[in-house]
Structure 1
Amino acid sequence: MSALYTAVATASGRDGRAVTSDVKLAQPTALGGDGAGTNPEQLFAAGYAACFASAMKLVAGKKKIDVTDVSVTAQVGLVANGAGGFGLEVTLGVEFPDEIPAETSRELLDATHQVCPYSNATRGNIPVNIVVE
């Protein structure tokens, strides 16, 4: 299968610099850093939220549902894996306009989770919780 798009970034570590655009990386204060920049979890959260929202627009468009005002917030947690390493956990909070019924919202979330590339990449690898806010 050929990639439709490939993003490329080079990084020197959590306290270094990433080259793809002008992104300065910094260790978060919760992990002992100065927090004076972006960290990989923030980048992952931004990517997942944007990707999930875009996938939802695709899914909703096929069902003739307007999701123009839908908002997706990704919370990415860095967690100890119990073996001396680390893993991630994700909560996607999706805010729908009031006019979209709860049952329709849940159907859209389930369908989007099957389409979104981030969801497909993480499925079975890290816990992803999707909630309606």
Structure 2
Amino acid sequence: MEIAYTAHATATGGGRDKGHSKTDDGKVDVNLSTPKEMGGSGEGTNPEQLFATGYAACFLGALRFAASQDKEKLPDDTNVTADVGIGKRDDGEGFGLKVALTIAIPGYDAERAKNLVDRAHVICPYSHATKGNIEVSLTTKG
């Protein structure tokens, strides 16, 4: 694989609990905390929020790319919402993630939207990276 871009980020401190993470260019610079639901303070950003924002943005880009292959431009209000859950794995060996993507393509009928979403799921590098590792569900709204 030929690499077109590499992001660089460093986490310090307590990691997901009372930690800090930032990119080398300073564009992302966040204090980290464990969510209240997991016994933390919830005062900072958590890794699941960062993953959700990245996955949603990447999937939307893949969706727009898939549409462009058909010489289509998606409506400006097309959006992707990523819900990333974390919990103890069933095997008891640590924690796992589960992702639900909700894709809204206003004005598209269900079949047309599903076709684009299925293709975007193949194109998106986040979807490719999670394939077989994380349960990802897709819900399409027209």
After TM superposition, is the score higher than 0.5? yes
4+ residue runs of structure 1 moved beyond 2 angstroms? none
2:16 matched residue in structure 1: 14
2:5 matched residue in structure 1: 5
Q: Match of 1:75, SS?
A: strand
Q: Aligned partner of 2:16: which letter?
A: R
Aligned residue among 134, 137, 140 for 1:129: 137
1:105 matched residue in structure 2: 113
Between structures 1 and 2, the one with greater strand share: 2
Tell me how large the CA RMSD over aligned residues is. Answer: 1.1
User: Matches of residues 66-81 of structure 1 in structure 2 within 5 Å?
Assistant: 66-67=73-74, 68-81=76-89
1:28 matched residue in structure 2: 35
Aligned pair count? Answer: 132
Q: Aligned partner of 1:32: which letter?
A: G
CA distance in 1, matches of 2:116, 2:82: 17
Q: Aligned partner of 2:86: which letter?
A: L
TM-score (norm 1): 0.94
TM-score (norm 2): 0.89
Q: Unaligned stretches of 5+ in structure 1?
A: none
Kindly state the Cα deviation for residue 95 of structure 1 after the two structures are TM-superposed. Answer: 1.0
Kindly state the Cα deviation for residue 79 of structure 1 after the two structures are TM-superposed. Answer: 1.8
Q: Unaligned stretches of 5+ in structure 2?
A: none
Q: Aligned partner of 2:65: which letter?
A: L
Aligned residue among 18, 42, 46 for 2:49: 42
CA distance in 2, matches of 1:79, 1:111: 29
Percent sequence identity over aligned pairs: 49
- The reply on whether 1:57 has 2:103 as its aligned counterpart is no
